């Protein structure tokens, strides 16, 4: 029965999400159950592409990513794939009318990771759009359930929130990305001369994204608002830890994390703020 295969495919995306990201998994669990499978499907798809460019160093990444693109197109056109992650993803794409340009833009950003690029402002904005903002828009397609007016109203806030999350990842991983992957995303940034002033400029940009993203969270459908707010709170706490570090310490520091006990503490405090409308 195909329904059994669909169930197995959805479970594969869920396992992938929970294996790779405890923070996003926690947020998804707080959504109304009707949103779970499609959001897991989107994350599973994104995670596969990210793995190709970030960890499959002993293989031909360009070939693998091109094959992944081709398989994605074929899955969406046919309405089925023998890759369980793509099967659940195409189901979400077709059910919620996720535009191809969102998927294409995401894959183009993944392709950018395969080239040795020196990022200026234009390239940086292109990368952020594809690697983070459009992923937020894919999720927003699910959240708004075909209500195009609501989607357009929330589009900008979703993009800003995705941008904030991605820039925090970049800032946290400055040293590791440069050392292990040969990447420095922030435009015209020389890590040999990375000082407190450079760090504070990046942080001010992230603060702006956070403010604009939070205003969008407040308008989300009730079955999604709390889960997205928890993700916001997690990343904002991560951001505060980064801000407390001096620039030279950030480059020396091991990967900054929020411990699991602190995450659960945030869950409680976030719920209280959410219920009291203090977001």
Cα(175)–Cα(252) distance, rounded to whole angstroms? 7
Q: Are 206 and 168 in contact (CB under 8 A)?
A: yes
* DSSP states along 175-210: HHIIIII----STT--GGG--HHHHHHHHHHHHHHH
* CATH code, domain with 95: 1.10.600.10
Reading the block at residue 237, the tokens are 């706490």
pLDDT for res 215 = 94
pLDDT means per 10 residues in the chain (279 residues)? 93 95 84 96 97 95 98 98 98 98 98 89 95 97 96 97 95 74 79 86 95 95 93 92 87 73 75 73
Phi/psi of residue 192, nearest 5 degrees: -70, -20
Side-chain half-sphere of 13: how many Cα atoms within 13 Å? 27
pLDDT for res 262 = 73
Domain count across the chain: 1
The pTM of this model reads 0.92
Domain that includes residue 220, residue range = 2-275
Reading the block at residue 156, the tokens are 């900008």
pLDDT for res 182 = 65
pLDDT for res 273 = 79
């Amino acid at each position: 029965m195909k329904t059994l295969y669909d169930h197995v495919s959805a479970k594969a995306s869920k396992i992938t999400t929970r294996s790779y990201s405890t923070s996003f998994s926690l947020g998804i669990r707080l959504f109304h159950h009707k949103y779970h499978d499609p959001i897991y499907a989107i994350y599973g798809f994104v995670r596969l592409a990210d793995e190709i460019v970030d960890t499959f160093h002993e293989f031909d990444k360009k070939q693998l990513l091109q094959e992944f693109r081709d398989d994605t197109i074929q899955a969406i056109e046919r309405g089925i794939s023998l890759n369980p992650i793509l099967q659940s993803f195409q189901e979400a794409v077709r059910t919620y009318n996720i535009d191809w340009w969102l998927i294409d833009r995401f894959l183009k950003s993944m392709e950018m990771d395969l080239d040795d690029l020196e990022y200026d402002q234009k390239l940086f904005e292109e990368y952020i759009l594809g690697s983070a903002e459009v992923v937020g828009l894919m999720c927003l397609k699910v959240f708004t359930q075909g209500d195009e007016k609501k989607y357009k109203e929330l589009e900008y806030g979703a993009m800003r929130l995705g941008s904030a999350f991605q820039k925090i990842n970049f800032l946290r991983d400055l040293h590791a990305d440069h050392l292990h992957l040969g990447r420095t995303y922030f435009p015209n940034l020389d890590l040999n001369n990375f000082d407190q002033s450079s760090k504070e400029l990046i942080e001010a940009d992230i603060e702006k994204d956070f403010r604009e993203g939070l205003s969008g969270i407040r308008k989300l459908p009730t079955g999604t608002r709390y889960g997205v707010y928890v993700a916001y709170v997690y990343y904002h706490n991560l951001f505060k830890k980064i801000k407390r570090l001096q620039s030279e310490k950030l480059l020396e520091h091991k990967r900054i994390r929020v411990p699991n006990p602190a995450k659960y503490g945030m869950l409680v405090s976030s719920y209280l703020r959410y219920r009291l409308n203090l977001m």
